[in-house]
Amino acid sequence: MKVLVLNWRDMEHPEAGGAEVHFFEIFGRLADKGHDITLLCSRFKGCQNNADYRGIKILRRGNNLLFNRQTPSIIKKLLKTERYDCIIDDVNKLPFYTNRRFPSIPCGAFFHHLFGKTVFSLTNWPTALYIYLTEKHYAHRHKNIHCCAVSQSTADELEKQGIDKSKLTIIENGIDTDRYCIDESTKREEDLLLFVGRLKKYKRVDNIFKAMSILDKSGYVTRLAIVGTGDDMPRLKKSAGKLGLGDRVEFVGFVDEDKKIEYYRKAAIFVNPSEKEGWGITNIEAAACGTPVVANDAPGLRDSVVNNETGLLYSENDIQSLACSLKKMLDDRDLQKKLGESGRLRAQNFSWDASAQKVEEWLQKIIREK
């Protein structure tokens, strides 16, 4: 297959995140199998216009602000010399609607998650409103094409908007199941809680601080390691200080993959209080390392955590419920062990190889039906 994929960024972009990791893990494997993959993405300061990454041809065109508006003319130029079997919109923030502009070419759309109202905590009000209203038109604009979602929660939202259920496929994100694993030589730190992810306001990391304060009153003294960076870090540091947790909250910052896995292995409990995710890949990474998860019962997170089986889901955005779930886990080492073992077994089902195989079949279906 010869496939053109549209994404706002590539892995070398300074703002690259989970969507870009997903793209290269999936499509890098398809390139390894002999498929011809091209990524069309926006430029960034100091970048080269053309590059190659994991066997994928990268074309950097346009700018980060208007890229979705610029893509039609860029694709028209490409089509003068190239013939693609299909074009895939990797939807992250704003869509491309390639299917509307190039109806003669098989097209599909990949949805990581819908922002909904959480977008207002991510960017300025005018931009947030624009994204929020744009999402309301997804169903109409993607009518009659195949769409892929990374979780049942995202699929449910798309279906609720009006996207045909028969055109929806769910393919969960994967992990490196060989790398993310239990290491018996790493000792668990019984009082250590862990959060991994970008520090954004909608992630509600400060809810962990508040739950820790509640636990303090019951005699449960815990520590928290926060792995990741983001624009919410200054506010979080102030919040931790105001609650008197400054010496018990470690802002680790960005770390490499090996160091991140080390934190997963030594933490007693992984905590994910985000108010919304597409899938919650960090829950799966923690589970693969045998670490039990306490997560918000929110879209995406309720897909990556099976309540009372691989972790505990607490009442949505309820800090008191979060504290109770942490207390339950801290009180019961057997429960920690049981959830950790079950989580590890389930995580084995979500490898990048398996996800790539499903995406390959999805692409073939799009081309065949068109």
Banded pLDDT at 138 (limits 50, 70, 90):
confident
- Beta-bridged to residue 89, according to DSSP, are 6, 109
pLDDT(104) > 90: yes
Q: What are phi and psi of 175, to 5 degrees?
A: -140, 170
Amino acid of residue 326:
L
Separation CA 149–CA 164 (nearest Å)? 13
CATH of the structural domain 2-174+351-369, one choice from 3.30.360.10, 3.40.50.720, 3.10.20.600, 3.40.50.2000: 3.40.50.2000
Fold of domain 189-347: Rossmann fold (3.40.50)
Determine the pLDDT at residue 139.
76
Domain ranges of the chain: 2-174+351-369, 189-347
Separation CA 54–CA 40 (nearest Å)? 15
Q: Pick 369 or 60 by higher pLDDT.
A: 60
Torsion of CA 332, 338, 343, 349, to 10 degrees: -170
Asked if the domains at 2-174+351-369 and 189-347 fall in one CATH topology, the answer is yes
Separation CA 158–CA 75 (nearest Å)? 27
Determine the pLDDT at residue 153.
92
pLDDT(268) > 90: yes
If you search the block for the tokens 């003294």, which residue do you land on?
221
Separation CA 25–CA 21 (nearest Å)? 6
Tens of pLDDT, residue by residue over 295-315, are 999 999 999 999 999 999 999
249 membership: H or E segment, kind and range: strand 249-253
Tens of pLDDT, residue by residue over 161-193, are 888 899 999 999 999 999 999 998 999 999 999
As given in the structure block, the two tokens for residue 367 are: 């081309």
pTM as predicted: 0.88
